[in-house]
Amino acid sequence: MASLLFVATYKRAAFIINASDTSESFRKFLQKFKKYVLDWFGTVISYEVTFYTCDVSHAGTDANVSLILYATLGNTCIRGLKQKGELTKLHIEHDNSLISPDWFLAKVEVINMDTNEIIGFPCNRWLGKKHNDHEIQQDVLPIKIS
């Protein structure tokens, strides 16, 4: 179904631009709509995820950390990330395990390795049973960095 939608959309776009060279038109079309094409075909892309702690005592954690990236076309887990459109939210949590699980998370940066787009997710709070509201998870909204 997605491939039929893609072909129909391509044919419409090729007709609108009235290009005689189909392969060149197709290449330009793919570049322009790359994020949607990647999702239609389920292409796995690479993200680099960096966590930043604040400069306060015992800000780091030794607990197991996990995250989910939410996007305009769905959500994904950290393994086998597939392009899901524009990132809209990040869910971050830890399992409160080991000796020093509390964590002061300043921000998370996610880099799309295909497009070099950097999205920041500012958190600026403790995630831990001994701080704030005793939560070990947080949903964070994005800010575009580049």
pLDDT mean by block of 10 residues, the chain; 146 residues: 43 44 59 56 73 91 89 59 73 94 95 89 95 92 87
How far apart CA 111 and CA 11 sit, in angstroms, is 32
Q: What is the pLDDT of residue 9?
A: 43
Q: What is the pLDDT of residue 47?
A: 81
Rg (CA), the chain: 20
Cα 128 to the center of its chain, rounded Å: 24
CATH 2.60.60.20 describes domain 47-144: yes
Q: What is the pLDDT of residue 59?
A: 92
Q: What is the pLDDT of residue 10?
A: 43
Q: What is the pLDDT of residue 105?
A: 95
How far apart CA 90 and CA 58 sit, in angstroms, is 24
- Do 142 and 111 contact (CB within 8 A), yes or no? no
**For the chain, what are the domain ranges?**
2-32, 47-144
- Do 93 and 127 contact (CB within 8 A), yes or no? yes
The DSSP line for 88-120 is: EEEEEEE---SS---EEEEEEEEEETTT--EEE
Structure tokens at 95: 């399992």
CA neighbor of 107 nearest in space, from 48, 47, 50 = 50
Structure tokens at 85: 């459109």
pTM recorded for the entire structure: 0.65
